[in-house]
Chain A
Amino acid sequence: METSGTLPGARLERDAWWQRAAPLAALALLVALPPLANACGQEFYIGFASRVLIMGLFATSLNLLVGTGGMVSLGHAAFFGCGAYVVGILATEWPGKGELALLAWPAAMAASAALALLIGAISLRTRGVYFIMITLAFAQMLFYVALTLKAYGGDDGMSLARRSTLPGIDLASDVSFYYVVLTLAAGSLLLSGRLAAARFGRVLLGIKDNEARMESLGYPVYRYKLTAFVISGAFAGLAGALMANQNSFFSPNMMHWEQSGIALVMVILGGLGNLWGGMAGAAVFLVLEEVLAAFTRHWAIGVGAILLAVVFFAPRGIAGLWAQRR
């Protein structure tokens, strides 16, 4: 266990000063972004940055599952979508109170966690490819359930009349919303790093390396995995709640398997098991999309080629490249 090189928490302690400074620099840059964008007359990119952070949070939650716990899920969008639907349903059914962020967002996390407990309890009896497929199956089932929710737009999805409300902060403003997202994303990242570095994360990594050994050492493997699954689901739910707010819109497509696939791609692209992997993957993927789309209608070919290059030349993802440069 101690020899495995991808302990994210452990790495931070041994990093050179400039690597320790990097997260702070990134944070400073992100904090400075809205005034910068405003100065250039490009408020649009504030919304875009929120989207990157939210997808980054979603990918980070998946990374905890895949990278640290070795549980490859292709149904993570179920929790993302669940979070969005909880926000949407509360706002529709309970105008006023249901729109309180302090109520709706934790509710979204709780609902997603409960859902994850249910799905995880069954899915974790399988492993490998079968685990991939069974998580996919559950997500697809939820996707079809969402289609039947006629009161919430059915196939079309539904617009939110307005964003959730926070006392003292006007979330309708893209700038304030961005800072709230940034705070939550940074907090989640910090928490995720702590979790991975703690005993819990080390046991998970051990299970990923050799499940049978951990079992024989007396660790309750199933319980550890299920706990990770639930935590990961809860954060995916938070990301979904934020995304519904960012777009003022939610739809069954948020639960579609392609959404799970993209999150998985972001994680692998960014760096499996690397604390920064999810964020880096989401940022690179979405920025690439945006930049290439400005040059060519056929930007997807460019993104595809870059993903292929990552597979062959940067097998540990982008964050992995960064770590190797020491």
Chain B
Amino acid sequence: MTVVLFVEQCLNGIQFGLMLFLLAAGLTLVFGVMDLINLAHGSLYMIGAYLTATLTAATGSFLLGLPLAVVATAVIGMALEAGLLRHLYRRDHLSQVLATFALIMIANEATRAIWGVQSLPLNVPDVLSGSVEVLPGVGYPAYRLLIIGVGTLVALALYVLVTRTRMGMLVRAGASNRDMATAMGTDIRRLFTLVFGIGAALCALAGAMLGPLLAVQVGMGENILILAFVVVVIGGIGSVRGAFVGALLVGIVDTFGRAFIPATLRAFAPPALADAAGPSLAAISIYLLMVMVLFWKPQGLFPARG
């Protein structure tokens, strides 16, 4: 393996990991603070991508469509929280699973009804459709670099928000001891709604950024939701820092698994077997990572609750 290839694959892993972080951050907060298993988190990601595609087409500009879609999804998320999910906080996890599973069904079908069954076109803005030389002679797609930049900025902003503000303090208190947080303030309901809104906004941002790379289609949320849950569990429920580390770990393990496991297998297994087993082993590596982490630290890497 050359150094160049290694650097490129690292960038690929970081890019994927940062997007996972955007999803996992909201998920881990809602999970840790409100104690809500929100399977419909992926639906917000899908809605964010669809809104971005629609608003980009309507305004003619991705840079305009994206923020509008993020705000709109945040509003939808907060409405959902205030109207429905709020009543699930005190229910057991299984009721939450059933209710949010129902929401997935409704969201997917409503999306089909509104936007049709075929995926929506959403393209990388022309300025960013080329590649940038990151190392001499090595081009890396400009848009992927932008994703890395945005992801890093959001991670920093979240860090400041969680560690340096009163809201962040309440959130941390909520994640480590819910009853105390509830006892502390009267505006706990508003805080919850706000946290949910932020989570939804992050989802929409991930959906909007990944939309042009992947595909804006029904069902896009469920595939990535499971990975986001894996990240949350690896990082420790309720810990934003854990979500960050977990997301990068998963991103890099997934990328390197795909890049090097099949090639390595080919070195000492018959090609037919290597071709068949390689991609699957790569996919398994993430779950293996999670099982190993849980075996070693049953509460995840950064347990928020003492």
Contact = CB atoms under 8 A, between A and B. Distances in A.
B237 interface: yes
A148 B97 CA distance: 31
B299 A141 contact: no
A300 interface: yes
Contacts of B108: 300
Given A130-B294, A137-B287, A298-B113, A307 B226 contact: no
Interface string B272-306: 10001101110110011011001100111000000
A134 B102 contact: no
B280 A301 contact: no
Interface in B222-257: 222, 226, 229-230, 233, 237
B95 A300 contact: no
A187 B108 CA distance: 38
B265 to A, nearest CB: 11
A132 B165 CA distance: 33
B290 A301 contact: no
B37 interface: yes
A308 B37 contact: no
A72 B283 contact: no
Given A137-B291, A307-B105, A144 B95 contact: no
B116 to A, nearest CB: 12
B267 interface: no
A265 interface: yes
A298 B291 contact: no
B189 interface: no
B94 A268 contact: yes
B226 A301 contact: no
Contacts of B105: 300-301, 303-304, 307
Chief secondary structure at chain B's binding surface: helix
Given A129-B37, A133-B229, A133-B233, A268 B280 contact: no
Interface in A275-326: 298-301, 303-308, 310-312, 315
Interface residues of A, number: 43
Contacts of B37: 129
A269 B98 contact: yes
A232 B110 CA distance: 36
B298 A300 contact: no
A49 interface: no
Given A137-B287, A272-B94, A257 B276 contact: no
B230 A315 contact: no
Contact of B102 (A72, A264, A305): A305
B94 A136 contact: no
B294 A126 contact: yes
Given A305-B102, A308-B102, A140 B87 contact: no
B99 A72 contact: no
A72 B233 contact: no
Contact of A308 (B99, B230, B237): B99
A257 B294 CA distance: 19
B112 A298 contact: yes
B99 A138 contact: no
Nearest to B108: A300
Contact of A144 (B113, B237, B284): B284
Given A148-B276, A300-B109, A307 B98 contact: yes
A168 B63 CA distance: 71
A307 B291 contact: no
A154 interface: yes
A298 B99 contact: no
A261 interface: yes
A21 interface: no
Interface of B: 31, 37, 84, 87-88, 91, 93-95, 97-99, 101-106, 108-110, 112-113, 222, 226, 229-230, 233, 237, 272, 276-277, 279-281, 283-284, 287-288, 290-291, 294-295, 298-300
Given A126-B298, A141-B284, A304-B102, 12 more contacts: A122-B291, A125-B295, A129-B37, A136-B226, A140-B284, A257-B226, A299-B109, A305-B102, A307-B98, A311-B95, A311-B98, A311-B102
Interface of A: 66, 72, 122, 125-126, 128-130, 133-134, 136-138, 140-141, 144-145, 147-148, 150, 154, 257-258, 261, 264-265, 268-269, 272, 298-301, 303-308, 310-312, 315
25 contacts: A129-B93, A129-B237, A130-B300, A133-B229, A133-B230, A133-B233, A133-B294, A136-B229, A137-B230, A137-B290, A144-B281, A145-B280, A257-B226, A261-B97, A264-B94, A268-B95, A268-B98, A298-B110, A298-B113, A299-B109, A301-B105, A301-B106, A301-B109, A311-B95, A315-B95
